[in-house]
Structure 1
Amino acid sequence: MVLWLALGAWALGAQAIAQEAGSAQALRELHQKLAGQLARSPLKRPMHLESVETENGLQGDIYAVVDRPLGEVRAALGNASQWCEMLLLHINNRRCRVARQPDGDVLTLSVVRRYDTPVEQAFELPFTHRTASATRDYLAIDLSAEAGPLGTSRYRVMLEATPLGERQTFLHFGYAYDHNMMARYATMAYLATFGSHKVGFTVVGKAPNGQPEYIRGLRGLMERNAMRYFFTLDAYLAGLKVPAAKRSEKRLHRWFEAVEQYPEQLHEIDLATYLAHKHEDRQREAGAAR
């Protein structure tokens, strides 16, 4: 995937998502409101995806129920280093490093335009990591950056979570970004030509053969990236079920398996190629640390 056009490097804009963290009560009310969609989700699991084109960019939100207690989610995602490890599951993310700053830990993600592009050609996105709330019944984590590459700005990602009983957690994963007119036109031109076959997940009609017609264009792009990044979260949590020595491989396989459930939208490469690139990245970073 041509990532600078897909804007999939967590191009996340602050304007599109609420500026302040919510609350456990508000999130539980949202879960009740979405109960029908979650139960009948076409995404093959209790998950609901929304996307919207805003005045200045794009916004995506995923709501999902996961079979993990909130305490485990909080422990797994409480610091920037854990987020780095999680984000590196994405096929185009090649390196992630954390530095402590006065305003909070800064997570710098190195992203390539294609999965096989050398990491030396990656562009870097620095996100400030902040835990907005970490109470017994509510977790809110915020990542933000003011500027990004190629006409993008005001990046933000927000994760909210509240328990559903003792064994499940309801998650809201939201992200958005602003883009200038030049970036928007460049993306639309790509989607109208080389990316014209790419679709998202929202059903907008039926084809003559009765098959669903999926949304295309900017919102389709947003939905594909939303799902890829949500699956980094899902795969990272899945790794908690296995011994520490096996977690990395478990997470890599889980991410790839999740993506491949939606080949029309998300398929790019085979498992062997994906694992080869991820193992190469791990070995390079291990060598740099020595």
Structure 2
Amino acid sequence: MPAPERIPSRSLTDTELVTVLAEGRLTVLGQVRGASNAVLCCTVAHDGDEVTCVYKPVAGERPLWDFPDGTLARREVAAYEISEVTGWGLIPPTVLRDGPYGEGMCQLWIEAAPQDDESSPDGLPPLLALVDDEEPAEGWKAVALAEVGEGRTALLVHADDPRLRRLAVLDAVINNGDRKGGHLLPAPGGRLYGIDHGVTFNAEDKLRTLLWGWAGEPLTAEAVEVVDRLAAELAPGTSLVTRLAELITAAEIEALRGRVAGLKASGRHPEPSGEWPSIPWPPV
């Protein structure tokens, strides 16, 4: 379906947006085509405020061999909870709620700003690219060689962008198994969001991402602070752990603690393990 019209509304804080998403009246506008699971575009109205959102009912989730059935919506909410602890605001406000098709994830709709190779006033510079060079140009990080047809290969690169680097840290923490290019939403005003976090928090290493450009490099000072904060917030008995226990399993929470402890100990971005495909397919 085409992008919905932007709904005029007063400026809402993230806390207010969570209230609207969780308690408002949900009205389905249509289905977002091309998604592997049911994705519905909706409006949600509460006390005079109305926003556009994405609603993913559990009933529309396709079974996966490596994740328990009916858990993807809760994993998306858990990812939002972790994102909020980082203070980076990388995931749009997300809640778990009942809707017209039963329980599901409800997330604020983000209208992505256009990207333009020439960085024109109407667009933003791209975050990902395929180049014919053997090495990335200044301002870019290499990911991997990719086949582009007719026996040709090109170098997949991503921007050396601090917003992407924060997202790479978040993905390592939540064990994101599907960080594709289409899951990156640069918003007007310079903010970057990540979406589609259903295949996260597996107790086994599942990290698959297009953001390997910093693999093995030291974490930034701000990332070290975030990792320390996460370690403290994930201690047994905290309010964060109580909320996560309603969304993911005890084994997955323990694995989450282990990943944070590993990042804290190494002080570096993780590298591909070699035991699991490191690049999602298709990459977009």
Q: Relative to total residues, which structure has the larger strand share, 1 or 2?
A: 1
TM-score with structure 1 setting the length = 0.29
TM-score with structure 2 setting the length = 0.29
Q: Relative to total residues, which structure has the larger helix share, 1 or 2?
A: 1
